[in-house]
Amino acid sequence: MKRIAIDMDGVIADYLSKQLALFNRDHNENITVEDLKGKKLIELRPHLKDEIMNYLKEPSFFRDLEVMKDSQEVIKELSEHYEIFITTAAMEFPTSFTAKYEWLREHFSFLNDMNFVFCGDKSIINADYLIDDNVRHFKRFSGQGILFTSPHNVYETGYVRVNNWQEVRDYFLK
């Protein structure tokens, strides 16, 4: 059975909406997802890098994120035909382990939690496909990288791209 590795943040968990809401509240701004086309919030407000990163370092930040539309249904379908691994570069935010694990158990309980991979460099993942919103994870990955569209990566080219979970379904099940 072929394996699909799926990133968590920005692919199945919507961290950006929460990050923007907190940032806008705390800094009296009104930055939208549209404002982030081709860049991350840190690039838009580099002088507030520490404050922006501190949201993600908060141990509970990842616990109550919204689930990306259709991801649960499509991953459940994919799991009938593929071996599924959720791979998150949690080493960037080690305080996030518990919240991420609890979130995955709550929203993707149909997956075996032995298939939740908390790592740094995703090139260690032995899978046929990697669905991720960050192209840096494809550089040394030996399988097929599939770029999941996010505001920061809209101008990236040269990768197989999916814009939503219905396109993921079409790519793997049609």
Which residues does the annotation mark as catalytic? 7, 9
CA angle, 127 then 40 then 122, to 5°: 20
Q: Give the pair of three-digit tokens for residue 20.
A: 């923007």
* Residue burial 142-157, b: 16+ Cβ < 10 Å; e: rest: ebebbbbbbbbbeebe
Phi, psi of 140 (to 5 degrees): -115, 5
- Cβ(27)–Cβ(41) under 8 Å? no
Query: Residue 52: how many CA atoms within 13 Å on its side-chain side?
Result: 14
Q: Give the pair of three-digit tokens for residue 85.
A: 């691994």
CA angle, 97 then 101 then 105, to 5°: 175
Q: Give the pair of three-digit tokens for residue 80.
A: 């009938």
Cβ atoms within 10 Å of 97's Cβ, excluding its own: 15
